[in-house]
């Protein structure tokens, strides 16, 4: 398995530059993981499947779902992609590399755990600030247009919020200068985590049933059901900050 991963990585770094992999490659990976993990919840909700696991009885209209997808594509290409391009010099300066050898799984898992803790801490305080009266009205209310969230609403937000809370996601990697494969794996698990938190379903196999301190869909769905400053549950991943 390790040899296959190394062979695949050798192909990538041989045929593409660091800039292409870190920017265009990261964007392509993000879009692929995000839409492949989020779109199924759109069709599950439309078809009325798995109703017994749905947290809220209310369903989103087809028009509301399509509006979300259209806006997401606009924001991703007009906000996310430029940010990825602009952040490359920072990551490069901090020591990010793509060359062989690849880091060990121990190093990768330790760094990703660190990123989760750092991101959750920054996100919690940033999210609380967004629930102050002025910022909620003019910025964060966009994300709360969907009181009944589904997977793709996880990244449906005002462009200013995308930049503001996106900082929480990139801060950990930016200060540690990880290997690119670590950055990609962090991106994958972070996207899967936030899609799961917004999916609108709580399954027997949901991570919150097995991982202590993990919030998950039920935890964050509560945040969307309530209005404005009274909701709580501000953290992105864990529950201890809200405690």
**pLDDT (tens digit per residue) in 38-72:** 999 999 999 999 999 999 999 999 999 999 999 99
Q: Please give the Cα distance from 52 to 36 (Å, whole number).
A: 23
Read off the pLDDT of each residue in 27-37 and give the average, rounded to a whole number.
98
The confidence band for 93, taking pLDDT boundaries of 50, 70 and 90, is confident
pTM of the model: 0.96
Read off the pLDDT of each residue in 186-213 and give the average, rounded to a whole number.
97
pLDDT exceeds 90 at position 122: yes
Query: According to the model, what pLDDT value does residue 231 have?
Result: 75
| Main-chain dihedrals φ then ψ at residue 61, nearest 5 degrees | -75, 160
158-170 as b/e: b if 16+ CB within 10 A: beebbebbbebbb
Q: Please give the Cα distance from 182 to 201 (Å, whole number).
A: 29
């Amino acid at each position: 398995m390790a040899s296959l991963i190394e062979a695949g990585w050798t192909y990538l770094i041989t045929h593409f530059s660091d800039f292409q992999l870190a920017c265009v490659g990261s964007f392509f990976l993000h879009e692929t993981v995000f839409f492949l993990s989020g779109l199924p919840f759109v069709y599950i909700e439309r078809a009325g499947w798995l109703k017994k696991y749905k947290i809220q009885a209310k369903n989103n209209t087809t028009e509301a779902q399509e509006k979300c997808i259209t806006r997401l594509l606009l924001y991703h290409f007009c906000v996310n992609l430029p940010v990825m391009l602009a952040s490359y010099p920072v990551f490069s300066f901090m020591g990010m590399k793509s060359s062989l050898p690849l880091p060990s799984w121990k190093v990768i898992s330790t760094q990703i755990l660190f990123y989760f803790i750092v991101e959750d801490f920054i996100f919690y305080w940033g999210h609380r600030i967004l629930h102050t009266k002025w910022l909620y009205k003019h910025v964060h209310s966009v994300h709360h247009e969907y009181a009944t969230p589904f997977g793709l609403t996880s990244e449906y937000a005002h462009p200013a919020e995308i930049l503001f809370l996106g900082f929480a996601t990139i801060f950990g990697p930016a200060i540690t200068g990880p290997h690119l494969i670590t950055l990609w794996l962090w991106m994958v698990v972070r996207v899967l985590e936030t899609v799961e938190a917004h999916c609108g379903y709580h399954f027997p196999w949901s991570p919150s049933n097995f991982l202590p301190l993990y919030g998950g869909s039920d935890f964050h769905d509560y945040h969307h059901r309530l209005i404005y400053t009274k909701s709580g549950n501000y953290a992105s991943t864990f529950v201890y900050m809200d405690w």
